Chains A and B, each alone.
Chain A
Amino acid sequence: MTRMPRHLSIRGVLLVGLVGIALYTAGIAAYLVWQTSRVGRLGAELRTVAALVSDLNGRAAEMGRYVRQAHRALDDPDGPAGAALDVIRRDLGAGPLRAQPPRLADVPAAMRRPLARADGTLAQLEAALVEAIALVQLGQRAAASARLLAVDSLALSVEGRLAAAQEAGLEDLVARQTGFASQTATAVRTVAVWGVLGILAIPLFLLFLQRRLARPLERLDDGFARVAEGDLSVRLDQERDDEVGRVIGHFNEMTRILHDRAAQQGRLAAAGELVAGVAHEVNNPLMAISLTAEARLDEGGLTPDLRADLQQIVRQTRRAATLLRGLLRFARPSDRVIEEIQVNDLVRDALDLVSYQFGVDEIDVRQDLDPDLPTVQADATQIEQIIVNLVGNAVQAVRVHPTPRQIRVGTRRIDSTIELIVEDNGAGVPDEVAPRLFRPFYTTKGPEGTGLGLYISRQVARDAGGDVVLEPTPGEGARFVLRLPARRRTPVPGVAAEPAAGATPLAGIRVLVVDDEVSVRRPLRRFLERRGAQVHEAGDGLEALTALERYQVDVILLDLRMPRMDGIEFYEELRTSHPSLRARVVILSGDLMQLERTDGIAIPPERVLAKPVDLRELEGRLRVVAIA
């Protein structure tokens, strides 16, 4: 088995992409914040330096004023300058006024030494001036004069230090400006490169989306479109095992299953067509056998054994006809016909249909049918299909079981519901299988099973207001229950009372028998004529039209499948040629599915009979139609 190459999932790639976008955005933001923070630090340092320099300049200027005052006081100690010395001394004694001590950590390294030297020299100047003032105030003029000279020298030194500090500050500022300009250029280049990378990433991402998402989704879309058009052979390439790849895998599996089921359905449909054709062809000979036997029985003068044999022939031909009708119903599904039906009858018909399996597989089938079972409102064919499906499953289950193999089919009424129970003594349904039993395409029969039987049965039952369930069974076996809402039994339209044997109940009734089978027409004619009818024959629709030009008829007994002009075409032709006779047509055919071609022409059920027909019933229907 070829191993699918592993790929990063789409979700994983999108997550990586999102993380990448987040990192890209965060990265550029962090870079810009870092760059601007450096500018912020530069601003803080400049402010600190400016404050320090301003403070030193202020102190130096003040000291200069003080020094001048001290010189004046030396010359005139008793004058105003002398009086000002106390103020100066008090100011110096209070210490330098700083509203907020500067953060030395914010002083650029290049300026620390010049500023420290300037501050130290200024402190020396302040202390020296205090000494000079003290000498002046103590009257020691010579010492004061000498001290003031030292003060002057210190003052010059302070000026020099301050100038050096300012020069250092300017140089540092210019260097920082240059550095800042360079950093700005670097930042601009970096951001530009980042932007280009981001722009390049977009087409790469789009390319990824195109390859990993858009193209596979396009292929999927195309695949689904082809499936919708009926092509179930479509298979898509599953190039990857990512999310879209897995969807493609599921698509391929789904179409494979649909293709197999469609092929199986096609085979079943073809088989159905074949069965329908065979059933129709067999109906005519069966009717001929039945009519001949019934006609012979009518004639009388038979030995008891011969009579018994002829009656057996009639019974078996009717049974064969019933089986063929059942086959036709399964082989050629028709539109739903909701009508009042008796489930017990359908049970018997269904068991008849599958009865051939019972003997072969030694299956003992027991019927427990409630004789007072109410009717239900549903499509008889579909309900019979459910019963056949349930019984068929039971047969499959017990077939592999050792003997005794038993199936029980029962009906009962529970309040306003009727129940049909099909249970067997097979292996039962495993617990892990039970929840999936009613899912479409789920089968335990391998390739032989369609997986649709129970699913469709349940859908049909639910459409009729009921359900199909698997009931738990203690011990062995399985038990399926079909539930349907009960209906009040309505009376069946009355059938004319049978006339006594030997009478001519059809006396005066003119009948045109239209059927291409001579073996059907002749016995029918003999029977009808014995019953008093006046009978004409026609082999197809064209002959019948010709006959109608020549004869008056009260009832037309019409087959459907005929050459040249079939029954439906003839019936349509009557609309223009003999419209009054349309209400006097009784359909007698082995293939009643042909009536679906009437396209809205409703023929009442009392004027439709299936071959092989019960002659008494035929007689009754003809009388009713002729009298009406």
Chain B
Amino acid sequence: MMRLRIALLCVLALPACTERPQAAIGHVLPQGWGAQAMAAVRDAVDSLPASQRARIRFVQDTTVPGGPTDREIEYAERIASRPDIVAVVGHGGSRESLVAAPVYNEAGIVHVVPTGTSRLLQEAGPWTFALPPDERAEGTFLAEEIVARWAPGSVSLFFENDAYGRGLAEAVRTALRAREVDIIDASPMARDGDVDVVVEGSLSRGRPDVIVAVTRERETARIARALLARGVDIPVVAGDGAFIFPSLPEMAGPAAANIWVAGFWNPLASDSVSAAFVRRFRRVNGVAPHPSHAMAYDALMLLVTAVIETGPSAERVRAYLLELGGSRPAYRGVTGAIDFRSPRAGRFVLLNAAAVAGAGS
């Protein structure tokens, strides 16, 4: 009789024994492009074997770019309070990611930042991993491109007055000065502020050869249009915060030809991984992806791979990320080889908004 009871218990417990526990991966990304990136990720996960798919669950929250920082903290606290969360991708840019990072670090949750370049993210905590190279690498790249393409004697600088804008502006300023380029004006800008006034005010103090705009896509487009409206035909070089697709070319209109944007990934790249990602993204979303889509996609798929290989444990996922490039080979993502053992060199590209818009439609 005892043996029968034990056998019955084993049979009842069998499903529990065979079913592996699920891990929840959270993503807190800006509305619009964040959902598009997530759709491509779900499509990729759906193509995995059922046993692997069953281990992953996604938890979503969307942010509004430029919104209040305390709302980012609220999103972070809400997601971190879930007991099944092992990792989070988010939040959007450097500003939002910096205020959310302490929440995830205190909770012991892996936090992967897909598009933040602020060097302060390196000191945000042991659980925070920034995917892009930091602002110093981007600033150097921008300065090199500016000097190589236009050999300017002077540059004016506009920057969004937050952690992203201030950090990248400082990096560009340092790199340009090292190349003996004169910075004749630097002006902070508020998101949704009066760009025309700031541009006009800056031009009244001197006309540069190149304008560097460390601003988001709307401000970048408005800067270019303001210049065009005043008959100033000078290139506007933007940081990675100004997205290429789909809004920037539309927002900039005829001024798009003067806008050059730095990105972490070339949407027109012909390598097989990039091409496969572009095909999937178009099929799922009906539009071509931009670099931020690729970075978010890589961040999410990296965590999916980590959970499949190590299990539903934040500690093991963190260990997995730290082993990349060491005891484990670097992760091959759409944006290149990924590891966190040393500052990421990055594959920067400088893309013309009008040229890419034509190719990506």
Instruction: Give A residues with C-beta under 8 Å from B.
Output: 86, 89-90, 92-96, 101, 103-105, 107, 109, 112-113, 116-117, 119-120, 123-124, 126-128, 130-131, 133-135, 137-138, 140, 143, 147
Contacts and interface: CB of A to CB of B under 8 A. Distances in A.
Contacts of A94: 186
B105 interface: yes
A127 B197 contact: no
B68 A117 contact: yes
A90 B205 CA distance: 11
Contact of B120 (A101, A116, A123, A140): A101
| Of B98, B106, B162, B201, most A-chain CB atoms within 10 Å | B201
Contacts of B194: 131, 147
B360 interface: no
B208 to A, nearest CB: 13
B101 A104 contact: yes
B102 interface: yes
Contacts of B98: 104
Contact of B73 (A105, A116, A133, A143): A116
Contacts of B72: 116
B30 interface: no
A86 B186 CA distance: 11
B187 interface: yes
B256 interface: no
A127 B193 contact: yes
Interface in B178-234: 185-190, 193-194, 197-198, 200-202, 204-205
Contacts of B124: 104-105
A133 B189 CA distance: 13
A86 B202 CA distance: 11
- Interface SS, A side: helix
Chain B interface: which size bin?
A: 35 or more
B70 A95 contact: no
Interface string B90-117: 0000000011011101100000000000
B73 A112 contact: yes
Given A130-B189, A137-B201, A138-B197, A103 B123 contact: yes
A143 to B, nearest CB: 8
B308 to A, nearest CB: 29
B161 A109 contact: no
Contacts of A93: 157, 185-188
Contact of A138 (B69, B99, B186, B200): B200
> Closest 3 interchain pairs by CB?
A134-B201, A93-B186, A127-B190
B102 A95 contact: no
Interface in B33-76: 68-70, 72-73
A116 B69 contact: yes
A107 B125 CA distance: 12
Contact of B105 (A89, A90, A105): A105
A482 to B, nearest CB: 78
A105 B125 contact: yes
B23 interface: no
Contact of B101 (A95, A105, A133): A105
B201 A95 contact: no
Contacts of B255: none
Contacts of B144: none
Contacts of A137: 201, 204
Contacts of B120: 101, 104
Contacts of A89: 187
Given A95-B170, A134-B198, A104 B188 contact: no
A113 B102 CA distance: 12
Contacts of A96: 166
Contact of B102 (A107, A120, A134, A143): A107
A199 B193 CA distance: 72
Contacts of B119: 101
A130 B188 contact: yes
Contacts of B188: 92-93, 95, 123, 126-127, 130
A112 B80 CA distance: 16
29 contacts: A89-B187, A92-B188, A93-B185, A93-B186, A93-B187, A105-B102, A105-B124, A109-B106, A112-B99, A113-B69, A116-B69, A116-B70, A117-B68, A117-B70, A123-B162, A123-B188, A127-B190, A127-B193, A130-B187, A131-B190, A131-B197, A131-B201, A134-B187, A134-B197, A134-B202, A134-B204, A135-B197, A138-B204, A143-B197
Contacts of B187: 89, 92-93, 130, 134
Contacts of B278: none
B18 to A, nearest CB: 40
B201 A133 contact: yes
A109 B104 CA distance: 11
Interface in B121-165: 123-125, 157, 159, 161-162
Interface string B167-184: 001100000000000000
A95 B169 CA distance: 9
A133 B194 CA distance: 12
A93 B183 CA distance: 11
Given A93-B157, A117-B70, A134 B190 contact: no
A95 B214 CA distance: 13
A151 to B, nearest CB: 11
A107 B100 CA distance: 12
Given A127-B193, A133-B201, A138-B201, A104 B186 contact: no
A134 B101 CA distance: 36
Contacts of B186: 90, 93-95
